[in-house]
Each structure stands twice: as structure tokens, then as C-alpha cells.
Homo-oligomer: A and B are copies of this chain.
Amino acid sequence: MEIIRRNTDYGIRALVFMAQKPIGEIFSLSDLAAQIEVPLDFLYKIFRKLAEEGLVTAHRGANGGFSLKKETEKITVKEVVEILQGPLAINQCFLSNKPCSYFSKCFLKKRWRKVQEEVEKILSGLTLEELAKGGKHFV
């Protein structure tokens, strides 16, 4: 199983690609899709959500496209994952607020929470800037 699904993977690929060019530059998705080799219509769907959440700005019409809105050093992998594939949890127990029937007896939940926090720390500690440029994570 993949933790990062196809849509998130594509989204990050696109954002990181954009991050490597001068800030404010506008990319049409037809260009972008060709560059990062993902299906155009799928990329539209992905960018719709990224725009809704304020990561990118859409520019309609000819010569339009998308530009980065949020600084990539402030966008974490965790954020993109949650925008594009919803909440990520270690198990069912931490996904919904409704505890399962076993919840009260479950002596594992405190321990799973610890694991959940460790995984979150990895993903929230990694920014797109670092993915693009290679930061402290990749020395």
C-alpha cells in the first residue's frame, strides 16, 4: 500500500516543479502535465483543490495557468496529503472521532497515538522547499 497516493504524488511533483522556477511564474496545466507526465484532466482536478486551499492561484483565459500562492517553505507534505487525500491516520481509531466499540477497553490506543505522532512529525517536518532544493533532510 502506498501512503502517498497518485493524486498527491502528482500534486507534489507539480508544486515542486513550479518551486524550481522564479516565484510568481504562471504554468498552464497543459505544459505542466506534459513536463511531469501526468494526465491533464486529472491534474486539473488536483489543482482545483490546491487552489481552493490557497496553495496556488488560478489565472483563467489565454496565457493563464496557475502560480504558486503560498511559499513552498511553508507548505508541508502533510498539508498537501491532507488536502488531496484527506486525513492520514495510523489506523481507523484515529481517523474518525467516533470511537469504535472496542475503544474503551483498548489499551493500544495510547501507543498507536505515539506512532501516529511520529509519522505526522516526519510529514509535517518536510516542506516542499526542501523537496525542491534539498534541505537539511537530505544531506
By a CB distance below 8 angstroms, the chain B residues around A119 are 3, 119, 122
Contact B2–A92 (Cβ < 8 Å): yes
Contact B137–A2 (Cβ < 8 Å): no
Contact A108–B13 (Cβ < 8 Å): yes
Contact A1–B88 (Cβ < 8 Å): yes
Q: Give the contacts of A43-98 with B (CB-CB under 8 A).
A: 77, 85-93, 95
Taking the complex as formed, is A31 at the interface, i.e. its CB lies under 8 A from any CB of chain B?
no
Given contact pairs A1-B88, A16-B108, A115-B122, a sample of 16 additional A-B residue pairs in the complex whose CB atoms are under 8 Å apart: A1-B3, A1-B87, A2-B92, A3-B3, A3-B89, A4-B90, A4-B112, A9-B93, A12-B108, A37-B102, A77-B115, A108-B131, A110-B138, A111-B130, A115-B123, A122-B122
Top 8 A-B pairs ranked by shortest CB distance? A4-B91, A37-B102, A118-B122, A9-B91, A2-B91, A3-B90, A2-B89, A111-B131
* A→B interface (CB under 8 Å): 1-6, 9, 12-13, 16, 36-37, 77, 85-93, 95, 101-102, 105-106, 108, 110-112, 114-115, 118-119, 122-123, 126, 130-131, 134, 137-138
